[in-house]
Amino acid sequence: MKFGKPAQVALIATVALATATLFTACQQYTSTLTVDFLYVASNQQVPGQIQVLEVDSESGALRPIPTSPFPSGGRNPVAEAVSPDHLNLYVVNEDDNDIVQMGIGTDGKLYPQNTVNTAGSFPVSIAMNTQGTYLYTADTYSPIPSCASTNPCPGDLAVYSVNSTGQPSNPIFNTDASPNYWPLQVSPTNAKTVVTPTAVNVLANGKYVYVTAYTPTTNSTTTNPSTYPSSSQGYLFAFQVNSDGTVTELNNGQPILSGNLPSAMASDPTSSYLYVADNKLGQITTYSVQSGVPTVVATIPSGSLPLSMSLDTFGNLYVANSGDSTLKMYSTSASGVLTPTGTYAVGTYPVAVLPDPHALGFVYTANYLGNNMSGFQISKTSGALVNTQNSPYPSMVQPTAIVGVPHAGSIH
């Protein structure tokens, strides 16, 4: 989800993560059925808010923890990532051009740790490798002095190394021409054409990183999905990750043409396939990515205006369609082919989808205009999705992103 205009602020409070261990309130969760904590960003307030919800293992019902919500550390939080050890949450605040690292306590509470400025402005997406050593962001505009919303330029990919405590570095060095970012250009010599990124994804094996983007063919550029241009050309950028953390663009430094407006990505746990949703064409394309350079396997319809997608551990792909407010479910095959298995109504304008981190078969959508969360569970008899108890659940106003971590509650 992308909104806003550039600015910079720093998070004032820094609290040692070790302090979190002194809070013993977690006993109220370990003695209950809480099996996950979900972190839902919302951008209506200033600063932005992170609502923390606990998941009941039996019903899948959601409820806020007592001290929720928490400040996001900046304005307009639009994207989140969680470290593989589940100890850190990373929040992208688009209007402040920063990443805020927050420690996750055993009780689900958030503890601000560090803030890092992004390379460019209007960061719209973030991803972390499964090793927990690098973060990647896609920025709407590269850090070129003359670049602004009134004079747009190509976006960029930035890379941040992450130390053993989960602290991200400043964006790592590329070249003297592009000191701390990798420009997203339609060709190595074309630095003029405006290319606007929408999402970033890193494969499970950590070898390749992908960025979806588009170039408006009308004279319009926006970071807000609700006002995307009516006409555009889509691109898929592929990068190889080098041993020092830098990246090298594949395909001779050129992106692959990808529909009209690719808006979301998900990659499988074998690092074999990349799934790309196209917002304008209403379709999902499967790419083979074993060699790094994406090649098309198949394309099938999605719902209207897909904005988010995610895979669960059972091999199901979920796509949140903002245009018709539906969640579409697909099964995946060993060859990467998708088969539709169901379409389900959710709250108004879903912008994010998440299978529960404990892999109990729950799945949730964050509904931006509905100001709520829709919950489902995979039926053990039919395999279809059924509503979780008391779904939908109130959220903060204008939820934009959702991630989660497992918790050691009782499972029955």
Helix (H) or strand (E) holding 160: strand 156-161
Residue 176: how many CA atoms within 13 Å on its side-chain side?
A: 0
So where are the chain's domains? 17-36+74-349
- On whether the CB atoms of residues 188 and 106 are closer than 8 A, the answer is no
Residue 226, helix vs strand vs coil: helix
C-alpha to C-alpha distance for 158 and 175, rounded to whole angstroms = 12
In sign, the C-alpha dihedral spanning 348, 313, 72, 132 is: negative
More confident residue, 410 or 11: 410
More confident residue, 232 or 1: 232
> Average pLDDT, whole number, for the chain?
90
Tens digits of residue pLDDT in 88-135? 999 999 999 999 999 999 999 999 999 999 999 999 999 999 999 999
Residue 221's pLDDT band (boundaries 50, 70, 90)? very low
C-alpha to C-alpha distance for 124 and 255, rounded to whole angstroms = 19
Strands 196-202 and 283-288: unpaired
Per-residue DSSP letters for 270-283? TS-EEEEEETTTTE
| Alpha-carbon torsion angle 387, 389, 390, 392, nearest 10 | -40
Averaged pLDDT, 218-234: 62
Tens digits of residue pLDDT in 356-396? 999 999 999 999 999 999 999 999 999 999 999 999 999 99
275: which 2 tokens?
């799934």
Tens digits of residue pLDDT in 267-325? 999 999 999 999 999 999 999 999 999 999 999 999 999 999 999 999 999 999 999 99
C-alpha to C-alpha distance for 80 and 162, rounded to whole angstroms = 15
Instruction: Give the pLDDT confidence score for residue 399 in this predicted structure.
Output: 98
C-alpha to C-alpha distance for 53 and 64, rounded to whole angstroms = 4
AA letter at 70: F
- On whether the CB atoms of residues 274 and 208 are closer than 8 A, the answer is no
End-to-end CA distance of the chain: 36
Cis peptide bond N-terminal to 392, omega within 30: yes
- On whether the CB atoms of residues 77 and 401 are closer than 8 A, the answer is yes
C-alpha to C-alpha distance for 163 and 248, rounded to whole angstroms = 22
DSSP state of 23: -
CATH architecture of the domain covering 17-36+74-349: 6 Propeller (2.120)
pTM, two decimals, is 0.89
- On whether the CB atoms of residues 240 and 212 are closer than 8 A, the answer is no
C-alpha to C-alpha distance for 246 and 140, rounded to whole angstroms = 20
C-alpha to C-alpha distance for 373 and 391, rounded to whole angstroms = 7
Residue 9's pLDDT band (boundaries 50, 70, 90)? very low
Averaged pLDDT, 233-261: 97
More confident residue, 412 or 230: 230
Burial of 145 (0-12, 13-18, 19+ CB in 10 A): exposed
C-alpha 229: how far from chain center: 22
**270: nearest Cα among 335, 362, 331, 359:** 335
Angle of CA points 358, 360, 364, to nearest 5°: 85
**64: nearest Cα among 387, 373, 411, 383:** 373
DSSP state of 190: B
Tens digits of residue pLDDT in 321-338? 999 999 999 999 999 999
